Amino acid sequence: MQKTLTKADLVEAIYEKTEKSRIDARQVVDKLLNTMKAAIKKDRYLLISGFGKFECCEKASRKGRNPHTEQSMTLPSRTVLVFRLSRKFRSELNP
């Protein structure tokens, strides 16, 4: 099974590959993630050239059921975040 890449792993990778301290590396990761969140909240999408696009999509309300009680219910509409690979990155993954 593959190990999940965590925020701490990103901090450690930046620390090892640069001359920054772990505290500075953590601040860089935090600022990057906060900038990404702000852009998605503001514009509803974030495009990173050569990597992909994060985009907010609206899901309509739908019928569902509680598996324990078998009771039918309507699940409310919601916003989800979708990631689409760039063509360049997709071709790197699938040569």
Q: 46: buried, middle or exposed (CB in 10 Å: 19+, 13-18, 0-12)?
A: buried
Q: 11: buried, middle or exposed (CB in 10 Å: 19+, 13-18, 0-12)?
A: buried
Parallel, antiparallel, or unpaired: how do β-strands 45-48 and 52-59 relate?
antiparallel
Mean pLDDT by 10-residue block, N- to C-terminus, for the chain (95 residues)? Answer: 88 93 95 96 95 95 92 94 95 91
CA 53 – CA 82 distance, rounded (Å)? 8
pLDDT of residue 1: 62
What are the structural domains of the chain?
Answer: 1-43 (no CATH), 45-95 (4.10.520.10)
Rg, Å, the chain Cα set? 19
pTM equals 0.78
Residue 33 is classified by DSSP as H
Return phi, psi of residue 86, to 5°: -75, 160
